[in-house]
Chains A and B, each alone.
Chain A
Amino acid sequence: MITSLEMSRRGFLKASGLAAGGLVLAFQLPLIVRQARGASPSGGTLNAFLTLDPEGRVTFFSPFIEGGQGVYTALPQIIADELDVAFETISVEQAPAGEAYKIMFGGTQRFTGGSMSVRSSYTAMRQAGAAARQMLLQAAADRWEVPIGELDTQPGRVVHAASERSIGYGELAEAAGALEPPTDPPLKDPSRFRYIGKPIQRNDSTAKANGSAQFAIDVRLPNMAYAAVKQSPVLGGDVASMDEAAIADRPGVISVERLPGAVAVIADTYWHAQSALDALPVEFENAAAAGLNSEQLAEEMQGRVDEAGMTAESHGDVEAAFLDAERVIEAVYQMPFLAHATMEPMNATADVTAERCEAWVPNQGVDVVVQQIAEITGLSADNITVHTPYIGGFYGRRFITDYGQQAVRLSKAAGRPVQLIWSREQDTQHDYFRPMVTLKHRAAIDAEGKVSGWHVTVVGDGPFKRLMPQFMQDGIDSSALEGVTEQPYTIANRRVDWVSHDYPVKIGFWRSVGHSYNGYVTESFIDEMAEATATDPLEFRRQLLGEAPRYLNVLDSVAEMAGYQPSVQEENGRRSAYGIALHLSFGSIVGEVAKVSIEEGRPRVHKVWCAVDCGSMVNPDTIEAQIQSGISTGLSQTLLEEITIENGEVVQKNFDTYRFLPPSLMPDVEVQIIESGAEMGGIGEVGTPPVAPAVASAVYKLTGQRIRRLPMARHDLTASA
């Protein structure tokens, strides 16, 4: 199976003329050691990722950001195992920009996303830890003048059993740091892992439970001013006029600045900046989205579902299957724009001088941020430092750092450090939304009552076409199609077509990207096929998974753990039903069962069971937390979330109208991890896609209503319940 990022890698390799390797995200050690960090004054730099001080404390420089997904815990677990130190002795810092930390896709890329951090760096982290251990062994061998083969390690120490000597890593740090790193260090036998695969506790819970965890919004610098920004309410407009004089006398106001498509007020406190901005008369013009209505856009897109489009995937002869069909079923699904609604709003702090720039920009890819700052300031990359503290949620939003560019421009204009904070209203309206997409699925049923053909047309662009066109493949945007292509079900004749549809609304990567809608629509239509062939949804899937044993195992596992029942249940006068769904994304196969009832016309999800085959794992407790998290996001988009646009303006501006899952709607979650031994899969996003189809399947059993448009808040299920 191929996920979007694995496909994007192929696209990248093709674009850059490099030979494509295997699916294993290969890592070459020389890439990480070729640019070692400056050694600490007394201690050693073992490679780009690790330094060791004389007291034996290890600092790990993480190429991935920590935004809740637990990577600052998982990666040190791997390091601790191979380096042979206690997990607690490792502290984590965010690695700076630079070639040394581009460890993805054969040493060409570094970003946090695509549920890739652990799986893409697992081998690299093991090698980094093992190489450092090897250097410490060599340093001890040199010091004691004994063959390295006689030495072993205990946590934090090198031991020479024959002479009963041992020495702490810290004492060897400087000598080890002067050695040439080995290129092929021996790795530990997995049977001896002490940390990998274990539920090691997070190393950031204390700081996040006492307010000391530092986010970019918490940066405080001497002489720092604060800025608030207002972008064109009608999307894509520019400033036509404003009356700066009207706010000149307001308390704390320092200046009013124009930015591309926006105006900003700089003041001594954020409140002074924001309240002055609210009082600033400003007119916008030339909005790209003038007159745009999302409802009308949806209708336009629905009008294109029968166009030929471009074929992204084709098996067998779909046309013949439909010509020979006894019956044909078809359905059109409509998916809305969605906001990221990270709890920490977009913000950035920049300190630009004539010689250098230091900036704190929450991001999912630091090298791009440096490049953008270089373009804005004219400074060379060597004179630009970008910090990435803890991030208050990213979910794909922080690939695009428009707010970082604004902060840099503002600091440059003001000649002092500036912290820019987007109000929640700015954050919601000017998000890069999950795309609006329309999908049509058709199935041909033959004379024997079997599904003989399956044809899908996806109308709408994905984020690749807009933001990373280098990842398009033969003109096709895989980020719009992931999750409907590469299906495990044995249906001989099937085809997926794509109709590009552009609109003047910014779109981006939202948790699980194309899978967020294709998971829903594909699995819901599988249910529709099951109904057309008079088969229970679970049984129907089982029948079509004969060639996909890994999927079948996940499906059976989740059905068993949930005690899945095909029919509606009656308990104490309450009707409830089980819905099931199965989906592969980011390298992991996930099955989910939702137990649902209808309360006051709305679906009430009581529990979600989840079986996840991620191949192998590093931290089962993190996996449980991420699956709970992914399910909350999946249920949130199922029930509540939608961005609508009227006359070019986003209607939902804050959490009172852009509603996402509150605690009262969080179901119980039970997770089963399956280590099938397949290649390690992702975790951060994979819980999200199967929620909506599982809930919708149960809702159909309860109400007879096939929900083809999310969120379910659009539908009153009272009458049919």
Chain B
Amino acid sequence: MMVTLTVNGTQHSLDTEPDTPLLWVLRDQLNLTGTKYGCGIAQCGACTVHVGGQAMRSCVTPLSAVQNQEVITIEGLSDDGLSHPLQVAWREIDVPQCGYCQSGQIMAAAALLASNPNPTEEDIASSVNNLCRCGTYLRINKAILQAAEARGQHKNQTQGEAS
């Protein structure tokens, strides 16, 4: 069965069993290895991507569920891989340690900021619950708050220029 989906703006038609988890399609067929395998049962969030703007755990998302959907992976979060406010904050605060879970952490946080530009610590706690064995949680929280603030300032500036 052919499944058609869009990944980071590029459309793909894949002749793959429809029950194949999106994670392995991304990693093994589309060579997008920034999305990681951690547990395969949606417990850790290392595989988090956006489907239709929502954070999804791709290890339990069958390919059939993303037919004709827009998928964004960490590789597509920003054009240059540098400029998303979360990437800026991650770099400035030096969040990562081993780094393996960080793609998923950032994608979970990006979905949160897209729907809630000004999250409280409680909002972060309830929607970014990805596991990190290095325990970078404190810096993750700090970076999400900093990115939210930076985005807010950027918006205010843009609005100020417009008026």
A interface list, Cβ under 8 A from B = 67-70, 201-202, 204-215, 217-218, 220, 226, 251, 269-271, 341-345, 390-395, 421, 423-424, 621, 625, 628-633, 636, 654-656, 660-664, 666, 668-669
Number of interface residues of B (CB under 8 A): 59
Alpha-carbon distance A669/B140, docked complex (angstroms): 14
List B contacts of A655 (CB < 8 A). 38-39, 41, 43-44, 131
Query: Nearest chain-A residue to B89 (Cβ)?
Result: A209
B96 touches A205 (CB 8 A): yes
A661 touches B135 (CB 8 A): yes
Q: Is B46 an interface residue (CB 8 A)?
A: yes
B20 touches A271 (CB 8 A): yes
**Given A269-B28, A392-B100, A632-B137, A251-B17 contact (CB < 8 Å):** yes
10 sampled A-B residue pairs with Cβ under 8 A: A68-B99, A202-B94, A202-B96, A207-B99, A211-B103, A271-B24, A342-B100, A343-B100, A393-B98, A632-B135
In angstroms, how far is the closest chain B Cβ from the Cβ of A141? 40
B100 touches A215 (CB 8 A): yes
Q: Which of B20, B28, B39, B94 has the most CB of A within 10 A?
A: B94
Of the candidates A208, A423, A662, the one whose C-beta lies within 8 Å of that of B102 is: A208
B91 touches A209 (CB 8 A): yes
| Known pairs A209-B90, A625-B139, A663-B128 / 17 extra A-B pairs, C-beta < 8 Å | A68-B98, A69-B97, A205-B95, A209-B91, A210-B82, A211-B32, A211-B35, A217-B37, A345-B38, A392-B100, A393-B133, A393-B134, A395-B133, A423-B40, A629-B136, A663-B140, A668-B138
Q: Which of B78, B90, B138 has the most CB of A within 10 A?
A: B138
For window 29-69 of B, CB contacts with A under 8 Å fall at: 29, 31-41, 43-44, 46
Query: Nearest chain-B residue to A210 (Cβ)?
Result: B81
Q: Is B75 an interface residue (CB 8 A)?
A: yes
Q: Which of B20, B28, B78 has the most CB of A within 10 A?
A: B28
Alpha-carbon distance A424/B133, docked complex (angstroms): 14
Q: Is B13 an interface residue (CB 8 A)?
A: no
Of the candidates B21, B74, B129, B138, the one whose C-beta lies within 8 Å of that of A210 is: B74
List A contacts of B28 (CB < 8 A). 226, 269-271
Of the candidates A205, A345, A631, the one whose C-beta lies within 8 Å of that of B135 is: A631
A204 touches B134 (CB 8 A): no
List B contacts of A394 (CB < 8 A). 98
In angstroms, how far is the closest chain A Cβ from the Cβ of B108? 10
A424 touches B40 (CB 8 A): yes
A625 touches B136 (CB 8 A): yes
B81 touches A660 (CB 8 A): no
List A contacts of B145 (CB < 8 A). none
Of the candidates A212, A391, A656, A668, the one whose C-beta lies within 8 Å of that of B34 is: A212
Q: Which of A271, A395, A424, A630 has the most CB of B within 10 A?
A: A271
Of the candidates B39, B106, B134, the one whose C-beta lies within 8 Å of that of A68 is: B134
Alpha-carbon distance A394/B87, docked complex (angstroms): 25
**Given A68-B98, A205-B95, A629-B97, A663-B29 contact (CB < 8 Å):** no
A654 touches B40 (CB 8 A): yes
A424 touches B34 (CB 8 A): no
Query: Nearest chain-B residue to A202 (Cβ)?
Result: B94
Alpha-carbon distance A654/B91, docked complex (angstroms): 31
B90 touches A629 (CB 8 A): no
A213 touches B43 (CB 8 A): no
B134 touches A632 (CB 8 A): yes
Query: Nearest chain-A residue to B140 (Cβ)?
Result: A663
Query: Nearest chain-B residue to A199 (Cβ)?
Result: B94
In angstroms, how far is the closest chain A Cβ from the Cβ of B51? 17
Q: Is B5 an interface residue (CB 8 A)?
A: no
Query: Nearest chain-A residue to B43 (Cβ)?
Result: A655
**Given A210-B34, A664-B129, A629-B135 contact (CB < 8 Å):** yes
Query: Nearest chain-B residue to A252 (Cβ)?
Result: B17
Q: Is B71 an interface residue (CB 8 A)?
A: no
Alpha-carbon distance A630/B134, docked complex (angstroms): 8
Alpha-carbon distance A631/B134, docked complex (angstroms): 10
**Given A205-B90, A625-B136, A211-B75 contact (CB < 8 Å):** yes
A628 touches B39 (CB 8 A): no
List B contacts of A423 (CB < 8 A). 40
List A contacts of B103 (CB < 8 A). 211
B41 touches A343 (CB 8 A): no
B97 touches A68 (CB 8 A): yes
List A contacts of B44 (CB < 8 A). 343, 655
List A contacts of B24 (CB < 8 A). 269-271
B33 touches A344 (CB 8 A): no
**Given A210-B75, A663-B129, A628-B138 contact (CB < 8 Å):** yes
List A contacts of B132 (CB < 8 A). 343, 663
Alpha-carbon distance A345/B134, docked complex (angstroms): 14
**Given A271-B24, A628-B135, A660-B131, A343-B97 contact (CB < 8 Å):** no
